[in-house]
Chain A
């Protein structure tokens, strides 16, 4: 089998100079013919394995690239608006205390369908609140699990819940909370990313005013989309 030196070096993910030196020194079962490498695939695969290297033929390599692209698409899909759409918007959540409210919210989120899952999410949320309140002021709270819920099968989501009556959430500005954004993400990185975007929106006065009017879901999403664009620029 023959490959260009450059391609061959890529297959092993090793600098071309190193491969050339190894061939010259006879440390790799490959023969050089001009700019070409001649080798037996099974032999080189065995060699690579014993040396803790990976040999991926160029044809196979595209596969991993494709999965990389998929991943990128997945990443792109995780913009704020999509994530919020996934979580949905709920109104008139009842409850007198933080715990009551949280339990009510947990019962409305998607992907957590079994009682065990609901229970574990609830415990995790409570644990986070016990550390420090997620009420960030101005009547808004962003409850989230203490650690990213990596074990859930579903994607990340944000569930928006407007409360029937404001609840004392022990927020930093002591104001009672009237809206919750429950944020469940699959990785710490994504968590930070979503949190940063969300808090950017919440710093916007117009957005806060909109929240105070208990907007309809589409209205909310539209505003989010508008603000998200501003983050990008």
Chain B
């Protein structure tokens, strides 16, 4: 119960759906939800080598009087202990609180600073992207309606970040007991290459134990193959963009995934480090 998940609560029906997903995630994995009910329009997160200012969408400040009760109610419905509410201790300016970053997960909607009307497939807001890029915790991106997931799907493309994503997938599979599927799209490399990576990272035994199946596609478009991802799966993928625009865009695979899949995503950023 040492693990903690940060959730920025939005006191609207949309925010409720996301809170439900956080609560479900926390219950399944026995994580303590830490809820921040915003009192100001913006907040800062000081990461290791970057500081991200999040200017919240106005709906986050709606009806502050009921926000805490609503959030606590959802948490209790999931049978979790009393929620922990985050009170920012430090302020960069009088209306600009700093949120701590020593969490193990964070739950974000697809966009946090733009109007919620933009929320849809294929759009992840710039602030959320920057959080994913700088954070050492994976970011849970909920879908618009709460749907308890019953299996886990990991996208494994052989890169260092994909290995981290796979490890995280194994960990969640172990904790939840849910079946795990691994997806790999063969690009320029063949199956042997991916097996070598697994071998080298010493993931073979875990692969055998937890993975229900490892689908390696050697034909077809990646996007078409995504239809095979179970509809009730939690999708785990690594985010690693290359080159000059790496702060702006994720790797092309993740961009395709987030455009096509309506599932709940758990994205592992380039600075992710496994919790101790």
Q: How far is the CB of A184 from chain B (nearest CB, A)?
A: 48
In the complex, which residues of chain B have a beta carbon less than 8 angstroms from the beta carbon of A6?
276
In the complex, which residues of chain B have a beta carbon less than 8 angstroms from the beta carbon of A34?
160, 273
CB atoms of A16 and B276 under 8 A apart? yes
CB atoms of B276 and A35 under 8 A apart? no
Task: Tell me whether B48 is interfacial, beta carbon within 8 Å.
Answer: yes
CB atoms of A24 and B48 under 8 A apart? yes
Query: What residue of chain A has the Cβ atom nearest to residue B270's Cβ?
Result: A34
CB atoms of B48 and A35 under 8 A apart? no
CB proximity to B under 8 Å, residues A13-57: 16-17, 24, 34-35
CB proximity to B under 8 Å, residues A191-211: none
Task: Tell me whether B274 is interfacial, beta carbon within 8 Å.
Answer: yes
CB proximity to A under 8 Å, residues B145-189: 160
Chain B: interface residue count, which band?
A: under 10
Q: How many residues does chain A have at the interface if contact means C-beta atoms less than 8 Å apart? A: 7
Query: What residue of chain B has the Cβ atom nearest to residue A5's Cβ?
Result: B273
Within the assembled complex, what's the spacing in Å between the Cα atoms of A56 and B115?
55
In the complex, which residues of chain B have a beta carbon less than 8 angstroms from the beta carbon of A5?
273
Q: How far is the CB of B20 from chain A (nearest CB, A)?
A: 32
In the complex, which residues of chain B have a beta carbon less than 8 angstroms from the beta carbon of A16?
276
Chain B contact residues, majority secondary structure: loop
Q: How far is the CB of B132 from chain A (nearest CB, A)?
A: 16
Query: What residue of chain B has the Cβ atom nearest to residue A34's Cβ?
Result: B160
CB proximity to A under 8 Å, residues B243-276: 273-274, 276
In the complex, which residues of chain B have a beta carbon less than 8 angstroms from the beta carbon of A24?
48
Within the assembled complex, what's the spacing in Å between the Cα atoms of A5 and B276?
11
Contact with A along B27-69 (1 / 0, CB 8 A): 0000000000000000000001000000000000000000000
Most buried by A among B48, B160, B274, B276: B276
Within the assembled complex, what's the spacing in Å between the Cα atoms of A17 and B276?
9
Query: What residue of chain B has the Cβ atom nearest to residue A23's Cβ?
Result: B48
In the complex, which residues of chain A have a beta carbon less than 8 angstroms from the beta carbon of B276?
6, 16-17
Query: What residue of chain B has the Cβ atom nearest to residue A16's Cβ?
Result: B276
In the complex, which residues of chain A have a beta carbon less than 8 angstroms from the beta carbon of B274?
35
Within the assembled complex, what's the spacing in Å between the Cα atoms of A5 and B273?
10
Q: How far is the CB of A27 from chain B (nearest CB, A)?
A: 14
In the complex, which residues of chain A have a beta carbon less than 8 angstroms from the beta carbon of B160?
34
Within the assembled complex, what's the spacing in Å between the Cα atoms of A16 and B273?
12
Within the assembled complex, what's the spacing in Å between the Cα atoms of A17 and B160?
23
Contact with B along A1-19 (1 / 0, CB 8 A): 0000110000000001100
Q: How far is the CB of B215 from chain A (nearest CB, A)?
A: 27
In the complex, which residues of chain A have a beta carbon less than 8 angstroms from the beta carbon of B273?
5, 34-35
Query: What residue of chain A has the Cβ atom nearest to residue B49's Cβ?
Result: A24
Within the assembled complex, what's the spacing in Å between the Cα atoms of A6 and B160?
18
Query: What residue of chain B has the Cβ atom nearest to residue A9's Cβ?
Result: B276
Within the assembled complex, what's the spacing in Å between the Cα atoms of A16 and B136?
15
Within the assembled complex, what's the spacing in Å between the Cα atoms of A167 and B238?
85
Contact with B along A51-76 (1 / 0, CB 8 A): 00000000000000000000000000
Q: How far is the CB of B47 from chain A (nearest CB, A)?
A: 10
Q: How far is the CB of B269 from chain A (nearest CB, A)?
A: 12
Query: What residue of chain A has the Cβ atom nearest to residue B48's Cβ?
Result: A24
CB proximity to A under 8 Å, residues B7-43: none
In the complex, which residues of chain A have a beta carbon less than 8 angstroms from the beta carbon of B48?
24
Q: How far is the CB of A124 from chain B (nearest CB, A)?
A: 52
Within the assembled complex, what's the spacing in Å between the Cα atoms of A54 and B274?
26
Within the assembled complex, what's the spacing in Å between the Cα atoms of A34 and B273?
7
Within the assembled complex, what's the spacing in Å between the Cα atoms of A227 and B276?
47
Within the assembled complex, what's the spacing in Å between the Cα atoms of A16 and B102?
14
Within the assembled complex, what's the spacing in Å between the Cα atoms of A34 and B136?
10
Q: How far is the CB of A26 from chain B (nearest CB, A)?
A: 12
Query: What residue of chain B has the Cβ atom nearest to residue A15's Cβ?
Result: B276
Q: How far is the CB of B273 from chain A (nearest CB, A)?
A: 6
Q: How far is the CB of A31 from chain B (nearest CB, A)?
A: 13
Query: What residue of chain A has the Cβ atom nearest to residue B160's Cβ?
Result: A34
Measured CB to CB, the residues of A under 8 A from B are 5-6, 16-17, 24, 34-35
List 9 A–B pairs whose Cβ atoms lie within 8 Å, in order of A's numbering: A5-B273, A6-B276, A16-B276, A17-B276, A24-B48, A34-B160, A34-B273, A35-B273, A35-B274
Task: Give 8 closest A-B pairs by Cβ, nearest first.
Answer: A24-B48, A35-B273, A16-B276, A34-B160, A35-B274, A34-B273, A6-B276, A17-B276
A-B contact sample (4 more), CB < 8 A, given A5-B273, A16-B276, A24-B48: A6-B276, A17-B276, A34-B160, A34-B273
